[in-house]
Structure 1
């Protein structure tokens, strides 16, 4: 059976950055995924501090992950350290 963190990462590929149309994992915006007893913590960023889509992206991540079997809670933590750069993106 897949590790819950792997399932979370797969589910996050369904959450798209509306500016680029690419998923948050491919954009390099997911910094960390931790799981303990069904409680998932995700550290993520946005392409710029003060991005007007920050709350929409955070809610999308929370909603997508909370639908997974075995997830009992989701915490999305926003960080800008280190700052996002295009170098974090997966090749197209």
Structure 2
């Protein structure tokens, strides 16, 4: 029996969940919980990620992008990953998930 394709929203949700495996090198919080990922689209085995950073001078940009690509490429149906970095809208702590805020709070770092 041939496997039916998942609806797009489930596929993209899957990639959001996968990127919870990728942590910011400065804080052990996922790039998703930090609010760095703005969007994920998949078409024909190519995943397009739109993201930002907490600052334009982030020293970890190359590491984070490499970690995102490497993690997504571990998926059987992913052949390529394109990352687009945007600065508008700018990142603020309001983009963090509640889970991310709670982790920061546990480490004594205020997210507000």
Per the normalisation by structure 1, the TM-score is 0.92
The Cα offsets for residues 53-90 of structure 1, whole Å up to 9 and x where unpaired, read as 01110111010001112112110111111110001001
Task: Give 1:19 shift.
Answer: 1.8
**Large movers: runs of 4+ above 2 Å:** 1-4
Structure 2 equivalent of residue 42 of structure 1? 49
When Rg is computed on C-alpha atoms for both structures, the one with the higher figure is 2
Residues matched between the structures, number? 92
Structure 2 equivalent of residue 15 of structure 1? 22
Choose from 76, 81, 91 the match for 1:69.
76
Say if 2:58 is the partner of 1:51. yes
Choose from 68, 86, 101 the match for 1:79.
86
| Separation in 2, partners of 1:38, 1:18 | 27
Alignment RMSD: 1.3
Task: Give 1:4 shift.
Answer: 2.4
Structure 2 equivalent of residue 32 of structure 1? 39
* More relative contact order, 1 or 2 (CA 8 Å, 6+ apart): 1
Structure 1 unaligned residues grouped into runs of 5+: none
Could you say which structure has the higher helix fraction? Answer: 2
Per the normalisation by structure 2, the TM-score is 0.76
